[in-house]
Structure 1
Amino acid sequence: MCRIKSLTTGDPNDPIVNKINQQSKELLTKSSDTGIYLYINKDSYGIVWKNVIVFTILHLLTIYATIVLIRDRVWNTWIFAYLYGFLGGLGVTAGAHRLWSHRSYKAKFSLRFFLACCFSIAGQNDLLTWCRDHRVHHKFSETDSDPHNSRRGFFFAHVGWLLTRKHPSVIEDGKKVDLSDLMDDPIVRYHRRFYPICYVVFIILIPWFVPVYVWSESISTSLLIAVIWRYVTSLHCTWFVNSAAHMWGDRPYRSTIGARENYFVSFAAFGEGFHNFHHSFPWDYATSELGWKLNPTKVFIDLMSKLGLAYDLKTVKPETILRITDKHHQQNN
């Protein structure tokens, strides 16, 4: 006979936990022979309809923007959108990812400020939130505590995780990740504080009105191409790292993890597709053994190093790669 005894899945003072508990009473049962409490929470997979509506509208507008781009041949605006988006991509890859999330190199204040501005162009939340989710992803990769757990399928890993409520384990284990180094950086603190302003300025106003005032693009076309088309396509470039790079490709370093070497993703995401290497050696600033190939982010960091703006670039020694890789494959053969 099954009965309810305990509903606690985390901090009982956490309002999110309390809400989950109250809405899941009928789903908590006790096995009479083992005494183990089994927790099945359908509310943790609930849809966030606001996000669904926003992303649906953005994607429909992006389809229309693509038609406008081909039909009207607004190549000046498209080139600007691509170059502006490239800066946003560097803000994610060289900034939020390799600098702040993994501390794979250090940067002077001027470079950190520049990368924070570039990251604002990408419009992927504030730096602290992005880095927290990414550190949780690495620490609990492909478990219920992974924000974009690829074991839940391509769609969930790609965008579904942004359309549904977080699994309770993501919230609980997310509290265990140390973010003190990020909070010590004034740029991260101020970016979090002023992110709404950054979003409006860097995501909407700058790309919208530069084409209008510099080469007399129409307001509607500039909005469609330089703002919406650029924003949505750049989001997918990042999302492919969470989805495709965890599902398709080789696993030469660690065959027991989901992260793969995916060259398409490396091309689209400025070198972030060498994912099996990256999850095996996350502290390496290049995220790859292949040097500059398909890795413009490494080229950028190397250039900043030559200019004296980036320093203490961390790398993995070839003998370390061979030792760890060989040891791993021996254990799994």
Structure 2
Amino acid sequence: MKKPPIIWLTTLLLSLTFLGALVLVPWRGFTHGFDGIEWLAFVIFTYASGLSITAGYHRLWSHKSYKAQPVIRFLYALGGALALQNSALHWCSDHRVHHKHVDNNEKDPYSAKRGFWYSHIGWMLREYHASTYSDYNNVRDLQNDRIVMWQHKHYLALVIVMNIGLPALLGWLNGDILSMLLMAGLLRLVVVHHCTFFINSLAHIWGKQPYTDKNSARDSGFLALLTYGEGYHNFHHVFENDYRNGTKWWHYDPTKWLIKLMSLLHLTSDLRKVPQQRIEIARLKMQLSRAQDQVTQLPNCDEIIKKFQADYELMKNKLLEYYQAQKRVLEAKRKQLAVQNLQQHVQLLRKQFVEQQRHWTDLTAAYALKGAG
């Protein structure tokens, strides 16, 4: 089968910037050195461009997981041009296709089923999906956003201003244009490129699948460190409209923290969160599926699977009772009613659920050992 034509502009851009960062930055560092201002600019520009992709292109515009004031959307548009990953309109169009057809080699623009290289960078080097460069029917909502369309219309000029003009200006003010161009411009661009590209590649290859195995997306706390919190990708592909990727307080998700902080400053609003019981049920369902798979080789597997199913239903019901009781406590507080008895009931239900969960864990672990043996 004949390969699609090479997209030379993209291929040269990604190749030359990578080689430049690999050669020119160490050369400048050894022969001249970089000062604190240049390193600070590198860090600030790295987060500004990366978060514009994750908080702006991804969670705001692609998934509409929250709303943002025009000034924030404008900053995202500039940061997106700084990240040099195409206009928001085009990026979001590709991404929505990805979610709709995830892992479909013919339709998913960066299907991980075609390997790490393809999903990381290869999909951009040839005209595999040329039609997406003109078909924006799946982002008609974004075509009503003046800032998105302004950025799309002036994208090339914005790229030049943000990636060359702005670092050069800062370098002139700091007394060293070349060093600033190499740090805040070139090295920063390559780092952001490959860290965000990991979301399409490694986040579909490496990690755990606590919520679903129906697609290749995976959760990895380590990968979240490299991708501005996007490493909790298995969660995201199940609950794509949640403004969070990392749901626990200890999950590293600076994108989530930024969105939440801006909501406290009234710069963002309508932050969408999946009810916790839906998240827990998805996790339990995945545990049930894995437990059933582990005992299929045992002679009495049908009876064991029925027992798993019964225990799963009991645990799910306990979980729903607990969250419904929590909801009643919150409603009572809003109405300024006495909640002591309700809170005691919630604690009792929580204790019952934890005990049932412990029993479930012991049960599935015991049968998993038998299945493995």
State the 1:232 CA deviation: 1.0
In the TM superposition, 1:51-70 aligns within 5 A as 51-68=10-27, 70=29
The C-alpha deviation readout for 1:149-191, integer Å capped at 9, x for no partner, is 11111111111111111147xx489958621210111111111
| Correspondence 1:145-156 to 2 at 5 A | 145-156=107-118
Q: Deviations over 1:67-91 (max 9, x none)?
A: 1354233042122122112111111
> Separation in 2 of the partners of 1:174 and 1:137?
17
Q: Give identity over the alignment, percent.
A: 35
Q: Does 1:197 align with 2:157?
A: yes
Matched, 1:163 2:162: no
242-251 vs 172-181, which moves further = 172-181
Deviates more, 1:191-200 or 1:72-81: 72-81
Q: Deviations over 1:101-151 (max 9, x none)?
A: 000001122221222222222111111001101111111111121111111
8 Å CA contact 1:132–1:174 kept in 2: the answer is: no
Equivalent pair of 1:65/1:225 in contact (CA under 8 Å): no
Change in CA separation of 1:166 and 1:185 when aligned onto 2, cut-off 3 Å? same
Greater relative contact order, per chain length (Cα 8 Å cut-off, separation 6+)? 1
For 1:126, the aligned partner's letter is S
How many Å separate the matches in 1 of 2:178 and 2:210? 48
Shift of 1:231: 0.8
**CA-CA distance at 1:205 after TM superposition:** 0.7
Letter in 1 for 2:182: L
> Partner amino acid for 1:62?
A
Is 2:78 aligned against 1:117? yes
Instruction: State the SS of the aligned residue for 1:210.
Output: helix
Corresponding position: 1:108 with 2:66? no
Range that drifts further, 187-196 or 287-296: 287-296
Structure 1 residues 69 and 302, CA gap change in structure 2 (3 angstroms): farther
Report the CA distance shift for 1:242/1:116 in structure 2 as closer, same or farther (over 3 A): same
What is the aligned counterpart of 1:207 among 153, 167, 173?
A: 167
* Matching residue of 1:275: 233
TM-score w.r.t. structure 2 length? Answer: 0.72
Of the three residues 296, 299, 302, the one matched with 2:254 is 296
Give, as a single letter, the amino acid of the residue that structure 2 aligns with 1:58.
Answer: T
Equivalent residue of 1:114, what SS?
Answer: helix
The equivalences for 1:220-299 within 5 A come to: 220-291=178-249, 293-299=251-257
Indicate the residue corresponding to 1:4 in structure 2: none
CA–CA separation in structure 2 for the residues paired with 1:277 and 1:262: 10
Which of 23, 31, 40 is 1:79 aligned to?
40
What residue identity is the alignment partner of 1:282?
E
Q: Deviations over 1:213-243 (max 9, x none)?
A: 2x211x3322222211111111011101111
Distance (whole Å) between structure 2 residues aligned to residue 86 and residue 173 of structure 1 = 28
Which residue of structure 1 aligns with residue 140 of structure 2?
180
Instruction: Give the letter aligned to residue 59 of structure 2.
Output: R
Partners in 2 of 1:248 and 1:92 — Cα distance?
Answer: 22
- Give the unaligned 5+ runs of structure 2: 293-373
- State the secondary structure of the residue aligned to 2:141: helix
After superposition, the C-alpha distances for 1:290-319 in whole angstroms (9 at most, x for unaligned) are 236311111111111001111110001111
One-letter amino acid matched to 1:191: Q
Question: 1:158, 1:239 within 8 Å by CA — same for their partners in 2?
Answer: yes
Question: Considering only aligned residues, what root-mean-square deviation do their CA atoms show, in Å?
Answer: 2.1
More helix by share: 2
The C-alpha deviation readout for 1:236-279, integer Å capped at 9, x for no partner, is: 11101111111000110002311111223211111011000000
Q: Which has the larger radius of gyration?
A: 2
Output the CA distance in 1 between the equivalents of 2:40 and 2:155.
26
Paired residue for 1:325? 283
Once the two structures are TM-superposed, the CA of residue 200 in structure 1 deviates from its matched residue by: 0.9
2:297 is matched with which residue? Answer: none
State the AA in 1 paired with 2:13: V
Match of 2:103 among 116, 121, 142: 142
